[in-house]
A and B are shown apart, each in its own frame.
Chain A
Amino acid sequence: MILTDLTLAQAREGLRAKKFSARALTEAHLAAIEKLNPRLNAFITVTPELALAQADAADRAYAEGEAGALTGLPLAIKDLFCTEGVRTTAASRILGNFIPPYESTVTAKLKDAGAVFLGKTNLDEFAMGSSNMTSAFGAVENPWKRRGDDTPLVPGGSSGGSAAVVAARLALGATGTDTGGSIRQPASFCGITGIKPTYGRCSRYGIIAFASSLDQAGPMARTVEDCAILLGAMAGFDPKDSTSAERAVPDFAAACRRGVKGLRIGVPKEYAVPGMPDEIAALWQRGRDWLRAAGAELVEISLPHTRYALATYYIVAPAECSSNLARYDGVRFGRREDGADLIEMYERTRAAGFGDEVKRRIMIGTYVLSAGYYDAYYLRAQKVRSLILGDFTNAFAGCDAILTPTAPSAAFAQGEKMDDPITMYLNDVFTVPASLAGLPAISLPAGCDRAGLPLGLQVIGKPFDEETVFAVAAEIEAAAGFSASPTLRAGSGA
């Protein structure tokens, strides 16, 4: 048995049945990390001692019959979640050697459930990017390769490190965050499953903010059920986050077994964008066929404001980021570059600490909030955002979930699309609308393109109806029977 090949659910069964120890499971993953991470660069920080200590505690818990939902299961944490006593970077130089004296609510919940943390995963700087190319700690390499081509591909972003780690079997699951597609697009690029839950489902406390009205934590794993198990542990009301929802957390894993019989699945005509690769169009069609075959009714829906979503997102998100990132000023924590006076200290610190993409978004955000431009940009964008939400509300009057492709392409090569930010931003075209509307949305691998790279389908649900999203995704997962695996992975001898 190759322990790193197990799904999270299988590993949990194994631990419960005492087929192997949590220590053995953790050691297998640490060994895989040691072997593959130098190439993948998917972890910024690996914490083997902590992981082994947690694994030993997990073994004691199993021995004493006190195991929780995730006891002994090795996970990777996106380096945007503050972890007490463990360096947290947001993949930026500006945080320097910042070691948080507090734990994010989501990671605290995972710890409480008994999870083992292997380390902190790489990401686009401050979660701003779709390729992981903007990390101050270097690019992450996608474990997948085009058939017969060793060109390093991007894992997507911003949760590219987490996606690569899960795909390469260096962890059973990982946390991600999604602002405009940062869980779903890398999940699609790396052939894994990731869900962005409803805004407010998971606490944002202790997650380094990019765009507060959009940021949402979610799990990334190799199966729909694994994501459901992880989300069950991550979600829940938190009095420390005013935007977290005071709602009970349903049994998401049970929802995976509901089936889709009688469900109405919406297919938005506006997502059939010109220039969509035929492989993706074909995959989308297959998804519809699978669901129809499983007893769902397919309905065409219209989301007329979809075409404005990307423009809206690239006003709202930078506006919030320009304000959220003002605190990185060299005064209280993180990196400081001395200057002759306060202003020079700010300028030097921020010039040295932030990368180009972060600077670009801070400047865009500052511009759209400026006197004289606020109404034309920020206020207009907020109005369009309401219209986009209205589109979904109308559509959900006639359907239970929406099926779309996750991304307009498979993973591209490192260095591609770097010349023009707009081309890069187009990666988010299918994921951004659900983000703007705060809706739950999952991406799962449903097939491969001609080069053998994975392609994802996205299921979008009603607010706080992750259960239906899981039910539909599980049905697609079963029908697709996706079994391809990446070139670079633990246990493959690569």
Chain B
Amino acid sequence: MSGYTLAGKTGPWELVIGLEVHAQVISRAKLFSGAATVFGAAPNSQVSFVDAAFPGMLPVINRECVAQAVRTGLGLNAAINLESRFDRKNYFYADLPAGYQISQYQHPIVGRGVIEIELADGTTREIGITRLHLEQDAGKSLHDQHPTKTYIDLNRAGVALMEIVSEPDLRSPEEAGAYLRKLRTILRYLGTCDGNMDEGSMRADVNVSVRKAGEDFRTRCEVKNVNSVRFVMQAIEAEARRQIAVWEEGGVVEQETRLFEPARGITRSMRSKEDAHDYRYFPDPDLLPLVLERDWVEVLRAGLPELPDAKKRRFMHDYGLPAYDAGVLVAEQASADYYEALARGRDGKFAANWVIGDLFAALNRTGRSIETSPVSPAALGELLDLITDGTINGRIAKDVFEEMVESGEAPGAIVARKNLRQVTDSGAIEQAVAGVLAANADKVAEYKSGKEKLFGFFVGQVMKAMAGKGNPALVNEVLRRALS
């Protein structure tokens, strides 16, 4: 329990949160048709007659989408249901060609699972997964193309979605954010969803209720279609505060569907329970029950990549990393891969510091991803080796690294060209030390009278005199001797 509460007039309130995440399946073709699924294609260029629900057209399940759902279920430590069914969810809308969505209502392909989330204070919590089911996406209504008409783009119609439903186990916006990020990480590792919330390939419906400590659940509201982690966290707080105000003013929170308005930081009512659709679910007679063979599931299990939790444990064990470092590095498969390429045969913690510190800062600054990093793991490794073998010192290495980011030049070449090799010649260091002490006689006197923190000043001056190239350990040693 994170102990998170929101303060109301009547005291603290706990939050109870559950998330329904719609994750678009990575597959070449749609869930029930052969049409392509590429994002950003020209409107209605990726639509088959099945997607457009032409008369007499029939759905045929895409095996790869099923495999992706199974992989995801396995990645969520969940039960795989060897028999599941597809139902029709009936409602009329212009971008829903058949007048029904094919979904899994009563018998989903994946049952209960669990994922572990990590919080800022280093604690972890297990969040239950209720189910994962496969369903079709709808098309898109474009209301801004014409003053009075709506245009329909069916490219997305029929694309496979996984709806991943959590238990109401989350207790704070932070936990919800951590859950979403962790889920996204797992999906990306699995290669089953790109987790790209900007493009809508991952969207969340957020169920929120509030309660006093020790109470059962109170009525929840569902905030629909929130499309970023930040907005999810904001929407939860906004909705919780609204509900607290309702309760504290003597009102009753009504179960309803709401929308989050990020610009105003509030949720507003979309439809009440009375207006809720009657979806008239029934088993889709065009599709047989989906029956999986246990052996096939096991083949998929055997083919799963190493998942973030396992990788984190391995990084901690094999590279001696603290949990925090390992957690940061495994958050993205690409950073983990980069790190491993760098750390192999080197000091693990040293490599982690460089990746998490200098490399991430440089990527941030230049707006690049780790996949397009200007500094390859091999080049950064060469730089680390130059530090380790004493060719350059750590201070100079920072400058060399910046050059590498700028120009892509190899670190050895930069060091040679700019003559940055570390000076380990004690004569040269002694000479520089003598010069600095002579020029700062007053400070030497102060130091000797007890102002010992001036030692750092002398180190700085000596390094400056040596254009930064002095071996820091030797400089310290010589200085200490000279000042004693």
Contact = CB atoms under 8 A, between A and B. Distances in A.
Given A327-B99, A331-B97, A100 B60 contact: no
Interface stretch (B120-128, B214-222, B279-287): B279-287
Interface string B135-167: 000000000000000101000000000000000
A407 B278 CA distance: 38
Contact of B285 (A100, A212, A327): A212
Interface string B45-61: 00001001111111111
A299 interface: no
A371 interface: yes
Interface string A84-110: 000010100001001011101000000
A370 B61 contact: no
B315 interface: no
A241 to B, nearest CB: 5
A178 B58 CA distance: 18
Contact of A104 (B56, B92, B93, B288): B56
A207 B286 contact: no
B56 A326 contact: no
Contact of B286 (A212, A327, A378): A212
B100 interface: yes
Contacts of B97: 327, 331-332
Interface in B249-287: 278, 280-282, 285-287
A242 B60 contact: yes
B470 to A, nearest CB: 75
A323 interface: yes
The DSSP consensus for interface residues of chain B is loop
Given A88-B55, A208-B56, A327-B53, A374 B282 contact: yes
A342 interface: yes
B415 to A, nearest CB: 64
The DSSP consensus for interface residues of chain A is loop
Contacts of B93: 342
Contacts of A327: 53-55, 97-99
B88 interface: yes
B55 A242 contact: no
Nearest to A333: B54
A242 B282 contact: no
A101 B49 contact: yes
A88 B49 CA distance: 15
Max count, chain A CB within 10 A of own CB: residue among B53, B59, B60, B285: B285
B55 A82 contact: yes
A400 interface: no
B476 interface: no
A346 B54 CA distance: 17
Contact of A95 (B53, B55, B150): B55
Contacts of A366: 280
Nearest to B100: A323
A239 interface: yes
A369 B60 contact: no
Contacts of B297: none
Interface string A312-356: 000000011011001101011100000000100010000000000
Contact of A323 (B52, B61, B280): B280
A204 B60 CA distance: 12
Interface residues of A, number: 42
A187 interface: no
A323 B55 contact: no
Interface in A67-95: 81-82, 88, 90, 95
A157 to B, nearest CB: 19
Contacts of B53: 327, 332
Max count, chain B CB within 10 A of own CB: residue among A327, A333, A371: A327
B280 to A, nearest CB: 4
A313 to B, nearest CB: 14
A371 B278 contact: yes
Contacts of B55: 82, 88, 90, 95, 98, 100, 208-209, 327, 333
Given A346-B92, A366-B280, A378-B282, A100 B56 contact: yes
A370 B282 CA distance: 10
A470 B427 CA distance: 110
A21 B443 CA distance: 120
B81 interface: no
Contacts of A243: 285-288
A82 B49 CA distance: 13
A233 B93 CA distance: 40
B58 A326 contact: no
A213 to B, nearest CB: 4
Contact of B58 (A100, A213, A241): A241
A323 B282 contact: yes
B126 to A, nearest CB: 35
A461 interface: no
Contacts of A39: none
Contact of B88 (A100, A323, A370): A323
Contacts of A82: 55-56
Given A326-B100, A370-B280, A320 B56 contact: no
A239 B282 contact: no
B90 interface: yes
B94 interface: yes
A240 B58 contact: yes
Nearest to B60: A242
B272 to A, nearest CB: 16
A350 to B, nearest CB: 10
Given A212-B285, A326-B99, A205 B61 contact: no
* Closest 10 pairs between A and B when the two form their complex, measured CB to CB: A326-B99, A213-B285, A369-B280, A212-B285, A327-B53, A206-B56, A208-B55, A82-B56, A371-B278, A327-B98
11 contacts: A100-B54, A102-B49, A207-B56, A208-B55, A209-B286, A322-B280, A323-B280, A327-B54, A329-B99, A346-B92, A369-B280
